[in-house]
Structure 1
């Protein structure tokens, strides 16, 4: 299922990149996924008793503001009975769109929430470090005591007080104290 979602996502990214509609596609796919996630929709779309035309009409209504190509994709997924891949398709599309647009995701964990100014400064520093646009996902965890932890892709920057204390504890235990 994941590979099918990835193939659809890649095809959509190529089309959207060619036409300059990546952001519109993101919006349309999010709307489609939210619609399909409604508890009252899943049984209707899975039921063989609901005619194909009725399913398509419901989608046309839900995706009235979407691009025609997005509605076509939705109808194709209905016809091919592939609606189960929609959540994964959105994840794969988002990942590919961000790569194309040169955006990285930074998961930033602090002991207390950042102020608006702190958020702006953090984003600017991360953009400088990585040379790309940064989308920050902010988290708070009082157990880190202070400082912050940043994860971008497979890179981890742990500047937390809890980590510094762990390192100090290890150096004290092993006698590896350096001035």
Structure 2
């Protein structure tokens, strides 16, 4: 993954710079997410790797799929990725771009996995605690996973806080 991130970073940084210049950060985020979603399709990904198809035919196919979702700059970026044989980096580019955008706007996306529904009061307390510790505004996405048995798993960027019973049992098993 680090190799993909290394290759994707210059593209993400260039798009972010352009988005800042034009005030279109949200639009670019949507465009990159759409391209990444298209490239996650197994058939499209296989077609991108097929040498019999050719870059121009593949580009026309992807442009047809994306035409309603991308403006002219987005289409030009897609053409650049295809012609530089970097279309497989679409997901990594979108992820790095979103991180750059979040850093610039002063927030962090946090994924919370809970064994049970979290009450509003607990959620407010968790949000305040995370914002204080991370020193950023928190945008939280919550998932329910009964396999945790109890507690929470919090993922914020590359930080993971495992306060679940399942995680504690796994740690105990390792110690024994």
Q: If the TM-score is normalised by the length of the shorter chain, which range does it land in?
A: 0.7 to 0.9
Per the alignment, do residues 34 and 161 of structure 1 end up closer, same or farther by CA in structure 2, a change over 3 Å counting? Answer: closer
* C-alpha deviation, 1:128, in angstroms: 5.8
Per the alignment, do residues 145 and 68 of structure 1 end up closer, same or farther by CA in structure 2, a change over 3 Å counting? Answer: same
Q: Which has the larger radius of gyration?
A: 1
* C-alpha deviation, 1:129, in angstroms: 5.8
Partner of 1:26: 29
Q: State the TM-score, normalized to the length of structure 2.
A: 0.72
Which of 17, 20, 31 is the equivalent residue of 1:17?
20
Matches within 5 A, 1:1-179: 1-2=3-4, 3-64=6-67, 65-115=69-119, 118-119=122-123, 122-123=126-127, 126-127=130-131, 130=134, 132-140=136-144, 148=152, 150=154, 152-153=156-157
Q: Which runs of 5 or more residues in structure 1 are unaligned? A: 164-179
Paired positions, count? 166
Q: State the TM-score, normalized to the length of structure 1.
A: 0.71
Q: Which runs of 5 or more residues in structure 2 are unaligned? A: 168-176
CA distance in 2, matches of 1:133, 1:123: 9
SS in 2 for 1:40: helix
CA distance in 1, matches of 2:36, 2:47: 15
Per the alignment, do residues 146 and 96 of structure 1 end up closer, same or farther by CA in structure 2, a change over 3 Å counting? Answer: same
